[in-house]
Amino acid sequence: MLNALYQQTRNNIFETACDETLFSLVEKARDCGRVELAEKYTLEISNSVNISIQKSMEQAKNYKARGNDDIARQILDKLLSSNTAEKTNLYPALLLLQGEWLFQSVAELNSVICKDYFQLACEICEKSFSNHSSPEEIAKAYITLAEFADTQFQKLREHIQGELFREKAKLLQRSEGDIVKLQGTNDPDARKTLAILCKQFRMDKEEIQHTHNEKDRYQLMALDNYLKGLGLINKYDLFIFRVIALWLEASTGNQRVDVGPSKLDTAMKSKDIPSYKYIPVLHQLSGRLGTNSVATAALLDSILIKCAKEHPHQTLPVLLSQALLHKDKELTTKANPRTSDSSENRVKAARSLIEKLKREKKGNELSTLAVKMEFLWNALISFAYFKPTQKTTEQRHSIPSTQDLLRIEDITVPTLNIPTNQSGIYNDVVCVRKFSSFFHLVGGINAPKRLMCSANNGKMYNMLVKVSHLTSVCIETIKYRVT
């Protein structure tokens, strides 16, 4: 239809719209495995000078999809070598595509692919960002480079953790001991052996150090470019999981170490990622509270505080699940008294954040919400450990007036999952009006209890509360299990 309108009117607007539609159809057909259909649509694209390079690039992709790698590479090489391609905004896309194909076919060194294709594409996009490259194009370049660097980092990490590399490290230590023993001798043969050992020791040491340096370099490169891509558009938000994994890769151990911010910390701090993008990884972040690095811990605290201020209904429950992890010690003598140092550090760090939020401009909305939500969580944990005293076969029991649960009001219904609002505005939150004065025993391990609450929207909500070995599990059950 668009082509017919163009033939009638000769209006370039219709021709452009027709070509854009065909390009979209070509990509969709190829993704579905219909290569012959993709080739048909490619032939129907106009031969306009403005889109000739894009059309040739699609033809190369079609050949690649058919398994004709050599022809596809020839077309792409020809496009990259032409002066016209360098002057168009498609040049970064051509570089990225060539880099991906070279990596898949192992036809070039990884360092060359990284520098001459992926990094070059990112540099060109950055230079022409204001004039030609769209946020989507530059974000794709960043993410492609990040994925490549991430793959190299994981391969190097596996190599370092492998048996062969560990054996080489042990041999290096043994060689160092042999060198020390031979240094005090004057025997000519021993001196020759010492010279050979020293040379081999130096080479092996440099190789091991180079491997570690490359792993760290690719780790930083992956983190930095993931963050750049995340900061531009929302299409790649799921990569936040890899960002957190890469950042906190080495943040383990119980001893606090104040060695200043690492390069990874600096990369995280330099990028202003919106707080809503951290909401899916709140549990991973809270699980690293109390980490051994002082600089990392400070940055982690600032991220969680920012999330709590802008998205309190999603963040506070996660922080409370860590802060009240050992609450069961106060409620039962059967609780396991042994806890790890990392667990204690995590609870203390979470407790500190909760107290800081409660003091945040005392009396404001966030402070009030933090106090109320902590009261609710404590009340639910206490109720989970409550055991009816009367012996009866009835499943319905009254809740004693001493239970704090009966004094809960005007707080978010804990079983509701509140969708994240990017603006951070939450006006129509469903809140508890009051809890019912009775509950039901539903039977099962740890005596699960079913209770109800009425909300400010006029509805009744059921929830299941039960004791668990970890208070955090109990709270998660309360938060997400709706019966």
Q: What is the pLDDT along the chain (483 residues), one digit of tens a residue?
A: 545 544 545 455 656 777 778 888 888 888 888 888 888 888 878 776 567 888 888 899 999 988 898 999 999 999 888 877 666 778 899 999 999 999 998 889 999 999 999 999 999 888 876 556 688 889 999 999 999 999 999 999 999 999 999 999 898 888 888 888 888 777 888 888 888 888 988 999 999 999 999 999 999 999 999 999 999 989 899 999 999 999 988 665 444 445 456 788 888 888 889 999 999 999 999 989 988 788 888 999 999 999 999 999 999 999 999 998 888 777 765 555 556 667 888 899 999 999 999 987 665 889 999 999 999 999 998 888 888 776 555 678 888 889 999 999 899 998 888 999 999 899 889 999 999 999 988 877 777 888 899 999 999 998 888 876 544 445 444 444 333
Residue 227: predicted pLDDT: 94
Helices (H) and strands (E) in the chain, counts: 20, 4
Residue 86: predicted pLDDT: 67
C-alpha count within 13 angstroms, C-beta hemisphere, residue 141: 27
Residue 468: predicted pLDDT: 66
Residue 341: predicted pLDDT: 65
Domains of the chain by range and CATH? 2-134 (1.25.40)
The 3-state DSSP class for residue 374 equals helix
- 410 in the Ramachandran plot: left (φ > 0), alpha (ψ -120 to 50) or beta? left
Which tokens sit at 16? 């452009």
The amino acid that residue 152 corresponds to is: Q
Taking the C-alpha atoms of residue 244 and residue 300, their distance in angstroms, rounded to an integer, is: 10
DSSP string, 249-300: TT---SS-B-----HHHHHHHHS---GGGGGGGHHHHHTTTT-SBHHHHHHH
Q: Which ranges in 48-129 belong to alpha helices (H)?
A: 52-66, 69-81, 83-86, 91-105, 110-113, 120-127
The 3-state DSSP class for residue 429 equals coil
